[in-house]
Amino acid sequence: MIFWIIALAAVLVLAGVAYLRGRCDGFIAGYNTSSPKKQQQYDIRRLRLIVACFHFSLAPLGFLFLLKDSALASNIFIACVAALSVAAVILANTWARKKSRHKG
């Protein structure tokens, strides 16, 4: 089991590095399918950083399943993933969004 946890952690870390290097913009949920006009509303560098940090944060969470009490590990894992997901969505819609410039 530890092999699969390490493999998953490695994949998540490699995916995070790929996002930071700008190789996986098409895999950012909602960004690839939005119109070019909508894509320009976001700072892609900040969005990449948010998604990469999300992946880096998920990588060590798999090791929770090595605990003796698997029910506790599952609950902690779900709570952490939920909290990270909410934080990522909030950051993507605030910090990664470019300031609108109104003429007037």
Single-letter code of the amino acid located at 10:
A
pLDDT in tens, 38-69: 999 999 999 999 999 999 999 999 898 888 88
pLDDT at 99: 81
Residues contacting 15, CB < 8 A, separation 6+: 24, 55
Structural domain spans, the chain: 2-94
Single-letter code of the amino acid located at 11:
V
What is the pLDDT averaged over residues 10-36?
A: 93
Tally helices (H) and strands (E) across the chain.
Answer: 4, 0
Give the sign of the dihedral formed by CA 14, CA 20, CA 21, CA 24.
positive
Please tell me whether residue 97 adopts helix, strand or coil conformation: strand
Please give the Cα distance from 13 to 7 (Å, whole number).
Answer: 10
What pTM did the predictor assign? Answer: 0.88
